[in-house]
Structure 1
């Protein structure tokens, strides 16, 4: 499970806590909890959804804790390898756009950020998001629409076409 979901859960946790080392700690706690509940794993319908839910809940607990300090790292959320055929100028422009997009997503309010990340980056369906976040379908659709609108506005302000 750690090999299959570790990196995705760490990225998900990072999107909540905005600090890579703290995100790794959260995921480590999730896998420890998973290990202690290993006997009841057979009762769980979707291990993936269960791990995502545990990670989200753990992140929210960390955010609520008194010792939590908000630090936004300058790194990009998602690392992509560039093809060898692109020029250095295009690569630099693409990397800058990716960083701006990542920063804009991180700056969204958490209720919009989590829906945007789960829908676009984790490629979960609306139904899966509803189950993970225990929200009504219309609520998820509304948050997705409002999140897109806020993201478009932020991207336009930063000079990137918000389409």
Structure 2
């Protein structure tokens, strides 16, 4: 029996496997959008609830990840429209580093610091730029996939990526990484 059929039957083991497989990824992505760890967790929980209730709408199992991402980003956007947030400091742990244990301690620490600075800079971007930057660079979606997830046209995505990168460069060059 395939994953979608098991999810349609509300198989708890399969639901847990899907949450384990995509939970950290969705939380990191939503955190980069809403800038609040607890809110990101709530959004991911809501995303899974919404996905499992509407799993019958998904016809292709290979699109499960992008479908979950779309639901999560739509919930993030909805929340951001309702309320604007001040920039919160990014937590000290880096969600993007995983299998680099064999690296020299000095270079590992330098890279963690650089990644944290970059993440802080990303959090300072306007929502419109941050969204495409996160999808493209952190989540590694193609322009076509971002178009499907966000509903934006490709030229808009490319323009926002270019402008977002330029803003990131300015933030990093100025060293303006303090809390605002």
Supply the distance in 1 between the matched residues of 2:21 and 2:129 (Cα, whole angstroms): 26
**Aligned 1:37-56 pairs, distance under 5 A:** 37-42=54-59, 46-56=63-73
**Structure 1 residues 77 and 108 mapped into 2: Cα distance closer, same or farther (>3 Å)?**
farther
How far apart are 1:69 and its partner, in Å? 4.8
Q: Structure 1 residues 59, 93: closer, same or farther in 2, change over 3 A?
A: same
How far apart, CA to CA, are the structure 2 residues paired with 1:69 and 1:156?
24
Structure 2 gaps of 5+ residues are: 1-17
TM-aligned CA deviation for residue 53 of structure 1? 1.2
Q: How many residues align?
A: 157
Is the aligned partner of 1:106 residue 2:123?
Answer: yes
TM-score (norm 1): 0.84
Shift of 1:38: 2.5
Residue equivalent to 1:73? 89
Report the CA distance between 1:121 and its aligned residue.
1.1
Q: TM-score, normalised on structure 2?
A: 0.77
Q: 1:96 & 1:52 partners in 2: Cα distance?
A: 27
Q: What is the aligned partner in structure 2 of residue 83 from structure 1?
A: 101
Task: Tell whether the 8 Å contact from 1:108 to 1:150 is kept in structure 2 after alignment.
Answer: yes
Q: Provide the secondary structure at the position in 1 that maps to 2:90.
A: coil
Is there any run of 5+ residues in structure 1 with no aligned partner, and where? none
Distance 1:122 1:80 in 2: 13
Q: 1:85 to 1:41 in 2, by over 3 A?
A: closer
Moved more, 90-99 or 133-142: 90-99
Give me the whole-angstrom Cα distance separating, in 1, the residues matched to 2:85 and 2:142: 32
Q: Please state if 1:128 is matched with 2:145.
A: yes
Judge conservation of contact 2:31–2:37 (CA < 8 Å) in 1: yes
